[in-house]
Structure 1
Amino acid sequence: MTWLSAVPAITIAVLVLLLPGALLAWGLRARGFALFALAPVMSVSLIAVAAVAGPVLGYSWSIVPVAVLAGLATAMAWAARKVLARTWPDETGRRRFDRRFYSAVAGVALGALIIGARLLFVFGSPDSISQTFDNIFHLNAIQYIYQTGQASSLTIGGMTGIPFYPAAWHAFAALVGQLSGASIPVAVNAANLAIGALVWPLGCVYFCQQVFGQKMHAALLTGVLSAGFGAFPILMVDFGVLYPNLLSIALLPGVLALGVQTLGLSKVPDFSRPVTGMALILAVPGISIAHPSTTMAFLVFLLPALCYLYIRAARRWRASWPASRRPFLLWTLLLLAGATVFTVLWDVLRPPADAAFWPPIHSYRRAIFEILTSSPMARPPAVLLTAFLVVGLVVLARRRKTWWILGLFAVASILFILVSGFHPGDLRNFATGTWYNDSFRLAALLPAATLLPAAAGAIWLWEWCRRCLWRPLRAKLIDAGTPAARRRTAASAAGFSVIALTVIALLAQSGSMDYSAGRARINYQLRPDSQLLTADERAILGDLDRIVPPDSIIAANPWNGSALAYALADRKTLQLHVLSPISADDAIIYSGLRDANTNPAVCPAVRNLNVRYVLDFGTEEVNDGSHPTPGLMNLEAAGVVTLVEQRGDAALYRLTACR
């Protein structure tokens, strides 16, 4: 299959991420670049809320409830903004399409092209799948949505017997598959391509605009830098795979940009403060249902900014104390109340202790080195990003107004140091248990915190070169030249900018990015020895829909990849995931199907479950697991099955016993 044939699915993924949210952002009076930057944030919220409401209101999952909700939310947002505008005029919303808009779009386009090319390389083929543990759940969950008609986070966990699972990514991927008619693997890759190559650079450029202003070169540099982190987005399509984290972290910069505006720290706010607060409230459901841990990252990342504002205000209140006692007391009480709520959320929104079992991976010294060199999880150093980061930290440290950015970077760094370099204990569990004490998840959050300091360094170096090197030379050339020479000088300036930007883009791709892309590509290759599905096993799954009747259940060990018969062929196995609960009948078949002719307990279990076929994919399991199912071995020799199809060591059998 070629990528050209996947263009419709990719196009639909982009449109689903942009159109519903753009309508809602328009209702909030977002204009110019903000209209596009906030579109994915709002779209995911609309998708997530519409999905959760499905079981309550009784409709099946499709694009229709998303469109209806988008229309209703837009009307309500427009009306609310009109009411608020009477007290808080919103002049900032008049920003339109100008040179700053086009430079921001160009920056996003640069990041999208680079990240898109990397992801195409990683995926290899549009219908490839990640050969990793969690992908069994993610792919089968989309088929579960198709069959149940529900994409709610409160129902999708029914596939594995859990009450809640963050399912915004699954709802989005299911929409891509429904609207494009693409297979589940193609829909998944199209969805992830749109998330990584569009949502992430959009949010990064918008975040930096809010903090540093709408400088043209800043937008271009930020777009290039967004594509230079080996830890995101590639790490989330490599390890796990953690597709919900991919979506939630891609949304994080855009939501942080709204947080910065709400706190009044933006240089170019797009809304009045109340409207920004409303936009932030509308954005929270999306990032939270995509993955709650990223919501906690958002809160803790903004904590230094909040402390900075409080300290600055306290100094101002002290200067006029008699008149400022009440505001000081009010804001202190609000801060304490917020800290209490945050502490409760920090304790509640975390997995069970037995699920947060990931150990530290190296020393705290190594963790510090990896943070400064943008090379977490033992990746090669990103030399250019390191230079930009060091310069940026110095620049930000010299400006008191930007100290909160240093605090944001410090918080993310401390979390990564604790999770990867400290021994298990109460401190580590309290600080990083929200992320399962998993170094990979916190490593993927580092780029969102590193972006601002690195961008600050890149912008400062660019402006220094232009001020100290190019402008004096340009002045001499203009003074000595003719009008034609002046025009050539201007053209040369543009040419040098393009060359410099190209060099930065190429250098940013060396080291960590090269390694990350090559490492991730291995997990998407279909080989004779692939860990989850071999080439022979996938070939058999490709034939199931024409051999196995839709109502038949297939006996198989889910740990060897055979459970993917559900996602890839729409045929159910005993367990749809390795963590699905095992019934008494399941246990009888797993332990004794080969004894069906002699064990009287087997045939009633077979009939209860309507088991008519068996998949034998051998004993090699994903993640080198060991979960033997002796009842499914040597079936042909036991005389209970007949061979239907065999590819290498993989075989499909028809159950002949128990008739």
Structure 2
Amino acid sequence: MSDWFQAFPAVVAALALVTLPGLPVAWLLRLRGLTLVAGSVAASIASIALASIGAPALGVSWGILPIAAVAVALALAGLPFYFITSHVKPPSTLLTLRSSLWVAVAVILAGLLIGVEIVQAIGSPENISQTYDGVFHVNAVAEILLTGDPSPFHMDLSSPGTNGAFYPTLWHSAVALVAQIVGASVPVATNAVALVTSSWIWPVGILFFSRPFFVKRPAHLILGAVLAANFTAFPYLLLAWGVLYPNLLSTALIPFALGFIYPALRHRQTHSQAPLVSLWIAAVGAVGAATLAHPNALFGIAAFTVPMLLVTANDVRKLSLSRLQKSLRLGTIIAVITLYVIIWSRVRTGDNKREFGNSVGQAFVNGISNAQMLDTRAWFLTVLVAGGVAVLLVTRRHRWLILSYGVALGLFVVASGLSGSVRDAITGAWYNDAHRLAALLPIGAIPLAAVACAKLLDYVTAGLKNVDPERVSERARKYLPAVGAVVVFALILTGARGQGLALQTRWIQDLHNPAGMLLSEDERTLLERLPDEVPADALIAGDPWTGTGLALAIAQREVLFAHLNGNYSISSGELAAEFSMLGEAACPLVRELGVSYMLDFGDERYSIGEDELYKKYSGLSDIAQSPVVTEIDREGDAALYRVDCD
């Protein structure tokens, strides 16, 4: 854990990067308090997204200057709204300071609870996620650092020469910036951004979204903070499965979009102190940022907002408005829902044939158990969620939250318990991946559980405040409510942190093992020596399933196969399948591709049980038998060869 002190500059840089660029425009929109922080984060990430598209289009290399330019442009665009909304009365300074203090305590508490778990699970900040998708993500960051091009339309790492297709590079752009700012390695920058996303962006977003539904007094926020840190499906699950870094960021941003959309739609009912126009601008920015982080965030936002829109439509119908005003408002709501349906029906994804072996009933139980995709159950959290549902039904308030949670739960059940065309139509936007859909469930579950926790706290403290004075002394009565509150907090904290969280963090830990499924410690050591042994403009070939492709992320040397599986050229395929058997006849192929070095990490491969994928690279085993290579370095069974075809 002490290694993280060396990574502290990278963590600070990541925190600043996702918070400060958007602060001016959020302030000019007259957002204040937690809403200001949420607006700053959403606008900062939107700035990174816009800069990552605009800079390459203008021929500008990636760095902090494009971010600064976009931040200034957004601030200038927000300046007129500062004057347009000058009639909005700000809250008193004392009230703002008091509420800001409680917000800060809640966010810091949630961040510490999450951060400690993640730091311990990852181990050294130099560790990488030794997973199928992990190879691509760290290599994509390294590619941006080498080329200076973060465009989502130019990321062709696994399909060289196919520029034009969209791949979400917002995550990778942010990590590359952190690496640039403080000179951190790609693994350290990756883990720093993962930590900040999980322990800063997520707590800010989920508390911002949830607060209107359960916070009646400041202490309630602390309950929300405890809950934000203890649902395994987010943020922890996406740091294990995949690893799905872009989805980690996009899912963390969904509550920001919801937190702005809700008061914008129901401005009168929520008594929001933020100007209505500012809320809508922030909502558009948050939706855009989440979607550019990963497009399936848009569908997650739709899943939660459709019930909200339906309730709003019902309220509009009851308002004393002219027929034209009602028609315009209802027409807008219908148009948005229709647009959702059209986009949803047009989505087609590949890699969506996975099945999870569950019946619908098993999937439902797994979904409500709040330890999704784990071999355990978190029934304590389930009871809290059910309690929140009961409270909202009895009080007849915010009942759309129950529907939104039900929609998210239904999507998870479909992906986990069904197969075939029906599942494709409903959950294809998430590649029919139950893990990605499980990550949505805490967004709906946490507000519901927080409602129950807040009600429990109020009942306990009120009951102790009114205890019979004949049974206890006056002095004891004064402290009883505080003691009761501490007991409630302790109960929720210990009850929520069950076996599921331990299993989930152990899963993350196993995948960040220095001697993992992709790289052994010897192989990592050899890769770290490459900058001293291989020229910066060299191209390295090797079997990617043995981890050789990580030379790009760890040593910043270009590799022929940067992902475990991809659409590579015919010549690349021939080299992969035949090199070690071709002898000197391999030289024309090597010259054509520009390969000058090779790595051989033996026959231990990352296994996903599909032998056909590995056979494509059989020619990159036993490289030493080729007469056109010379071994120049070795660490254990890992060897580096120079290709001598001149």
Q: Paired residue for 2:501? A: 513
State how far apart, in whole Å, the 2-side matches of 1:254 and 1:246 are.
14
State how far apart, in whole Å, the 2-side matches of 1:282 and 1:229 are.
27
Q: Paired residue for 1:561? A: 547
State how far apart, in whole Å, the 2-side matches of 1:125 and 1:634 are.
32
Q: Paired residue for 1:603? A: 587
State how far apart, in whole Å, the 2-side matches of 1:640 and 1:396 are.
73
The answer as to whether partners of 2:47 and 2:67 remain within 8 angstroms in 1 is yes
- What is the SS of the residue equivalent to 1:554? strand
The answer as to whether partners of 1:596 and 1:640 remain within 8 angstroms in 2 is no
After TM superposition, the structure 1 stretch with the greater mean CA deviation from structure 2, 4-13 or 265-274, is 265-274
1:340 aligns with 2:346: no
Q: CA deviation at 1:351?
A: 4.2
State how far apart, in whole Å, the 2-side matches of 1:268 and 1:109 are.
27
The match for 2:201 among 199, 204, 224 is 199
- Using a 3 Å threshold, how does the CA distance of structure 1 residues 207 and 474 change in structure 2: closer, same or farther? farther
State how far apart, in whole Å, the 1-side matches of 2:584 and 2:182 are.
50
Q: CA deviation at 1:366?
A: 1.8
- Using a 3 Å threshold, how does the CA distance of structure 1 residues 315 and 60 change in structure 2: closer, same or farther? same
The answer as to whether partners of 1:100 and 1:215 remain within 8 angstroms in 2 is no
1:146 aligns with 2:145: yes
Q: CA deviation at 1:496?
A: 4.5
CA RMSD of aligned residues (A): 2.2
- Using a 3 Å threshold, how does the CA distance of structure 1 residues 409 and 92 change in structure 2: closer, same or farther? farther
Q: Paired residue for 1:36? A: 37
The answer as to whether partners of 1:379 and 1:516 remain within 8 angstroms in 2 is no
How do residues 130-279 of structure 1 correspond to structure 2 at under 5 angstroms?
130-157=129-156, 160-161=159-160, 163-213=165-215, 215-264=217-266, 267-279=270-282
Instruction: Write the letter of the residue equivalent to 2:382.
Output: T
The answer as to whether partners of 2:549 and 2:563 remain within 8 angstroms in 1 is yes
Q: Paired residue for 2:52? A: 51
- Using a 3 Å threshold, how does the CA distance of structure 1 residues 636 and 279 change in structure 2: closer, same or farther? closer
The match for 1:472 among 463, 466, 471 is 466
How do residues 475-490 of structure 1 correspond to structure 2 at under 5 angstroms?
480-481=473-474, 485=475, 490=478
1:458 aligns with 2:456: no
After TM superposition, the structure 1 stretch with the greater mean CA deviation from structure 2, 225-234 or 531-540, is 531-540
- What is the SS of the residue equivalent to 1:20? coil
1:635 aligns with 2:626: no
Q: Paired residue for 1:443? A: 438
State how far apart, in whole Å, the 1-side matches of 2:60 and 2:389 are.
51
Q: Paired residue for 2:116? A: 117
- Using a 3 Å threshold, how does the CA distance of structure 1 residues 150 and 100 change in structure 2: closer, same or farther? same
What percentage of residue pairs aligned between the two structures are identical?
A: 31
After TM superposition, the structure 1 stretch with the greater mean CA deviation from structure 2, 620-629 or 68-77, is 620-629
- Using a 3 Å threshold, how does the CA distance of structure 1 residues 474 and 517 change in structure 2: closer, same or farther? farther
State how far apart, in whole Å, the 1-side matches of 2:519 and 2:386 are.
44
1:386 aligns with 2:382: yes
Unaligned 5+ runs, structure 2: none
Unaligned 5+ runs, structure 1: 318-322
1:497 aligns with 2:485: yes
Instruction: Write the letter of the residue equivalent to 2:290.
Output: I
- Using a 3 Å threshold, how does the CA distance of structure 1 residues 270 and 359 change in structure 2: closer, same or farther? farther
Q: Paired residue for 1:320? A: none
- Using a 3 Å threshold, how does the CA distance of structure 1 residues 585 and 157 change in structure 2: closer, same or farther? closer
- What is the SS of the residue equivalent to 1:615? strand
Q: Paired residue for 1:535? A: 521
After TM superposition, the structure 1 stretch with the greater mean CA deviation from structure 2, 129-138 or 542-551, is 542-551
Instruction: Write the letter of the residue equivalent to 2:503.
Output: Y
Q: CA deviation at 1:507?
A: 2.2
State how far apart, in whole Å, the 2-side matches of 1:260 and 1:477 are.
47
State how far apart, in whole Å, the 1-side matches of 2:337 and 2:372 are.
30
Q: CA deviation at 1:377?
A: 1.1
After TM superposition, the structure 1 stretch with the greater mean CA deviation from structure 2, 72-81 or 560-569, is 72-81
- What is the SS of the residue equivalent to 2:21? helix
- What is the SS of the residue equivalent to 1:125? coil
State how far apart, in whole Å, the 1-side matches of 2:271 and 2:67 are.
31
Give aligned pairs, total: 636
Q: Paired residue for 1:655? A: 643
- TM-score, with structure 1 as normaliser: 0.92
Q: Paired residue for 2:310? A: 307
State how far apart, in whole Å, the 2-side matches of 1:411 and 1:92 are.
37
The answer as to whether partners of 2:372 and 2:438 remain within 8 angstroms in 1 is yes
The answer as to whether partners of 1:126 and 1:185 remain within 8 angstroms in 2 is yes
- TM-score, with structure 2 as normaliser: 0.93
The answer as to whether partners of 2:215 and 2:454 remain within 8 angstroms in 1 is no
Q: CA deviation at 1:617?
A: 1.5
